[in-house]
Amino acid sequence: MELKVKLNNNELWEEFHKRTTEMIVTKTGRKMFPKLEYSILGMDPDLSYGLVLQIEQVDDNRYKFSNGEWKSCGRGEVQAGSLCSIAHHDGVMKGEQWMKQLIHFERVKITNNPLDTNPSHVYLQSMHKYIPVLSVYQLSPLSSDTPFLSTTSTAHKLVSRFRLESTEFIAVTAYQNEKIKDLKIEHNPFAKGFRDGGDRKRISSAADDLIVPAIKRSPPSPLTSVGAAALGTSAVTFSSPIMPVMNPLWYSYWNPYIFNPMLSPYRFDLTKQ
């Protein structure tokens, strides 16, 4: 049976692809969105297989975003050295297992740091176009290689490689096309903080780069003129949110019962004019 690969979220990828997908690269590594989610058919259920993801440079051009579209702007940097090959984190499994499950590479991050040695990080250059490539390897029944990718191993053979055009993207350090940014906000649950206006603070999370509104603190409200008059003083306004502890007016702020004759530590006659 012929081996077939399906992109489970193909409709979402196509929506991005129509506008030229952009993926953010950072020094610390960033996960891709949309995610790579595959389903595989046609494996021999009794044979062992391993899956490998690579991200190949589509061409040797450099790109720029101008007048609402991406254009080639001359020769770019050629992808140096051998491609980074990332074996699926489930290792080697029977074809029956692979065909039952959704296959994703959520641990993979893309970076623009050429010195990054994290085995799950792929080095990419900004303003260049790339495409993910899924390779399927069949292992010998006698093989116990896990991970099976090594320079000395001969117990596996390449069965097929899949390059899906809709998954092409341009690596960027900041989104260039506002339409792509809007799509990311709409579909990525970890970008919903961008929906609201105002200041924001970026925090780190397991879900990767969650955006949340920054916390704003207001100084405590000053005493009202009515309360101040009851104490026989003029209205008081504090210029600092930190009130002096020794000032007796401090207690009126924290004690709402201060003007209750039964509870107040002060003695004053509120009936006098």
Q: What is the β-pairing status of strands 109-111 and 129-139?
A: unpaired
pLDDT tens, the chain, 273 aa long:
789 999 999 999 999 999 999 999 999 999 999 999 999 999 999 999 999 999 999 999 999 999 999 999 999 888 766 678 999 999 999 999 999 999 999 999 999 999 999 999 999 999 999 999 999 999 876 555 555 555 445 568 899 999 999 999 999 999 999 999 999 999 998 765 555 544 344 333 334 443 333 434 444 444 344 444 444 444 444 344 444 444 444 444 455 555 555 555 555 555 555
What is the spatial distance between Cα 180 and Cα 186, in angstroms, rounded to a whole number? 10
What is the spatial distance between Cα 16 and Cα 34, in angstroms, rounded to a whole number? 8
Hey, where are the domains in the chain?
4-187, 218-273
Coil, strand or helix: which one is 185? helix
* DSSP state, residue 166: G
pLDDT for position 216: 44
pLDDT for position 45: 96
pLDDT for position 235: 43
Q: CB count, 10 Å around CB of 186?
A: 12
Yes or no: say if 109 and 124 are a contact pair by the CB < 8 Å rule: no
Domain 4-187: CATH superfamily is Transcription factor, T-box (2.60.40.820)
pLDDT for position 83: 79
pLDDT for position 78: 80
What is the spatial distance between Cα 230 and Cα 259, in angstroms, rounded to a whole number? 8
178-184 contacts at long range (C-beta below 8 A, 24 or more positions apart): 179/19, 180/16, 180/19, 180/20, 180/21, 180/22, 183/15, 183/16, 183/19, 184/33
